[in-house]
Amino acid sequence: NAGVTQTPKFRVLKTGQSMTLLCAQDMNHEYMYWYRQDPGMGLRLIHYSVGEGTTAKGEVPDGYNVSRLKKQNFLLGLESAAPSQTSVYFCASSTPYGLADTDTQYFGPGTRLTVL
């Protein structure tokens, strides 16, 4: 049981290049999330998904797209990378509990992205 895994661990891009970050979870969780964390800062929600085939915008969605074609995978895409997108990207997953919003999220190890 690997939990939440992220690919790749590190990446360097030039401005204008595109890339896709992959998140995979083996806990059969319904919800998945993408966050970014800038140096010395907290986590900010980019996009999230409450189930296969659904996605929604978070706090900072501009410049990113996501897809949830399979329940266990959540992809984050950068179509035209900018230096402002240099950050560490964390994926997380969780499962709803009854009617309450518990959001006990399990995080991956992160992807460190640098855009030159």
Partner 1 sequence: LAKTTQPISMDSYEGQEVNITCSHNNIATNDYITWYQQFPSQGPRFIIQGYKTKVTNEVASLFIPADRKSSTLSLPRVSLSDTAVYYCLVGVLEDTGRRALTFGSGTRLQVQP
Backbone angles phi, psi at 84, to 5 degrees: -70, -10
C-beta closer to partner 1: residue 44 or 71: 44
* 107 lies in the binding site for partner 1 (CB under 8 A): yes
Name which position in 15, 18, 102, 114 contacts partner 1 (CB under 8 A): 102
* CA-closest candidate to residue 40, choices 7, 112, 88: 88
Name which position in 29, 68, 78, 108 contacts partner 1 (CB under 8 A): 108
* 42 lies in the binding site for partner 1 (CB under 8 A): yes
* 45 lies in the binding site for partner 1 (CB under 8 A): yes
Decide: 55 and 48 in contact? Cβ < 8 Å.
Answer: yes
* Alpha-carbon gap, residue 60 to 78, rounded angstroms: 13
Instruction: State both tokens at 60.
Output: 């900072």
DSSP letter assigned to residue 38: -
Residues of this chain that interact with partner 1 (CB under 8 A) are: 4, 33, 35, 41-45, 48, 58-59, 90, 92, 99-110
